[in-house]
Amino acid sequence: MKIRIDQKLFAEAAKRAHRRLPNNPLQPLLGGLLLETDGDSVTLSGFDYETSTRATLAADVLETGHVLVSGRLLADVTAAMPTGPVDVVADDQELTLAAPGTTFTLPTMDRRDYPELPQAPEAAGTVDGDLLAAAVVHAAQASMPDKEAAGSLEGFRGVHIAADGDHLTVSASDRYRIVRHRIPWTPDGETADDLLVPAAHLAATCKQLAGGPVRVSFTNNITVAALANDTLTVTSRTVATPFPNIDNFFPNPAAASGWLRADAAELLEAVKRAALVNHKEEQAIRLSFDQDQVTVTGGVEGSKGASRVDAEITDLDGFTAGYRPGFLGSLLAPISGQVQIWFTTPNKPVLIQPVDDEGRVIDTYRAVCMPVRLT
């Protein structure tokens, strides 16, 4: 193989592909990146049996071929090379990278033992990469940790994306929180497919692909889903257990005892301040209400703290409820402007949604937070 390629593009592609490789692979080959030429381009591929990456770059291909080298070494040396064209030459024994005044030689690995990469399903539509990343990264915080999501709970370890007409719904839950974002997308045709990918993997993928349009490929009854932009394609093995049906767990606003409407950022800061005097992370903060203020209280016996936030409050006089501050805070964090929270009883979950400048509830984000029983 013999190619000439731009250093900046090469280094960025090697860095992105290397990030998804395991740090201590069980097989050394899985720490490698596969370089393959195709016409006037070169593709860098990595695979760890869970996630695969393919970065395709324009290059002057002088001789076709393929080579497998250490992903870490390739990322390090391409980043250290001077700006400009880089000549890359490979044979069965070594890969040489040369630029004016700089040369690196890397040993190659046996390509014959490298596993075959999964094929990405056909794309079903396109979504704004920044919107997708924001929704998925936030939802991933509400997923169940892998070590807890065993057996019938395995579906809670993933982030679920489902097509719903011209929108995608992005959902996650750890049974104490539910998060659902609704973002616009452009489907290629009628589809009602979905995917469920381990939360950490999907969040990392969406952050990599942010910055432009992203094509979404659903599973289509196979075990691999894919996301791609113009230069990078990432496939992920899906979670085997279906995502739980969480629709019935969203409280009905019409059945609420009362509600508050306040500035989300102010309420979030009040939650954070109250939590400072809690002895444990899981210790509850208390929300209590009067006519035009919500008081957020933290701490017990000794250290205590309280913050008051101006709010529009309906039918909550004498109401007090407790919530884990980390959970409630995480659900308030993505809301800019006003938030409305519906309460039923102190022992039942609350519904959280943003409110627009005209006072209308926005359906693009809905969240549920379970209370903590106060003693």
Write the pLDDT tens digit of every residue in 169-225: 999 999 999 999 999 999 998 887 899 999 999 999 999 999 999 999 987 666 889
Q: What CATH number does domain 2-107 carry, 3.30.70.270, 3.20.20.70, 3.20.20.450, 3.10.150.10?
A: 3.10.150.10
Which superfamily, per CATH, for 250-369?
DNA Polymerase III, subunit A, domain 2 (3.10.150.10)
Domain ranges for the chain: 2-107, 125-247, 250-369
| Amino acid type, 210 | A
One digit per residue, the tens of pLDDT, for the chain of length 375 reads: 999 999 999 999 999 899 888 888 888 899 999 999 999 999 999 998 889 999 999 999 999 999 999 999 999 999 999 999 999 999 989 999 999 999 999 999 998 889 999 888 899 999 999 999 999 999 999 999 999 998 999 999 999 999 999 999 999 999 999 999 999 999 998 887 899 999 999 999 999 999 999 999 987 666 889 999 999 999 999 998 999 999 999 999 999 999 999 999 999 999 999 999 998 888 999 999 988 999 999 987 778 889 999 999 999 988 999 999 999 999 999 999 999 999 999 999 999 999 999 999 999 999 999 999 887
Residues whose CB is less than 8 angstroms from the CB of residue 52 and which lie 6 or more positions away in sequence, other chains included: 45, 46, 117, 118, 234, 235
Q: Are 172 and 158 in contact (CB under 8 A)?
A: yes
Q: Are 281 and 329 in contact (CB under 8 A)?
A: no
Q: Are 46 and 17 in contact (CB under 8 A)?
A: yes
Distances in Å between the Cα of 204 and the Cα atoms of 90, 125, 155 are 31, 20, 19
Topology agreement, domain 2-107 and domain 250-369: yes
Distances in Å between the Cα of 24 and the Cα atoms of 30, 32, 80, 101, 168 are 9, 11, 23, 33, 35
Note the CATH architecture for domain 125-247. Answer: Roll (3.10)
